[in-house]
Amino acid sequence: MTNSAIATELGERLERLRLAQNLTQQMLADEIGITAKSYRQLVAGGGKLENMIAALRALNALEQLDNFLPDTPPSPLEQLKLRGKQRQRARTSNYKAAEARTAEGIKEPGLDW
């Protein structure tokens, strides 16, 4: 599916939620503070993510976002390594390999046996 097709599908699902609650487009648009035209653009796959969130909130369907993009907890091994620290950066494998080579390559002069 293309990005446009996915956006259109999300808009259609939003429209089905609206109809299930027996709201007009104008009523929902007024509720979330946008024009009816902006709402129609949202349903057509355009519009802002912020407006989609507002519409889901107005339809009491905000929990749908958790299904759409669930939070990814750290793995048990990562939890042990972090021990309360939260990961803030990503490192590539090249960085770790370079770091290991540097640590192994450091030798004090005169101790090279």
CATH number at residue 53: 1.10.260.40
DSSP state of 2: -
**30 and 54, same domain (yes or no):** yes
Q: Judge whether 96 lies within some domain.
A: yes
Give the domain extent around 97: 76-104
Q: Is the dihedral of CA 24, 60, 63, 53 positive or negative?
A: positive
Q: Judge whether 55 lies within some domain.
A: yes
pLDDT tens per residue, range 43-96: 999 999 999 999 999 999 999 888 887 778 878 888 777 776 666 777 777 766
- Dist. CA 15–CA 35, nearest whole Å: 15
What pTM, to 2 d.p., does this model score? 0.62
Contact 7, 46 (CB under 8 A): yes
- Cα dihedral angle (86, 90, 93, 94), rounded to 10 degrees? -130
CB proximity list for 26: less than 8 A, separation 6 or greater: 36
How many domains is the chain partitioned into structurally? 2
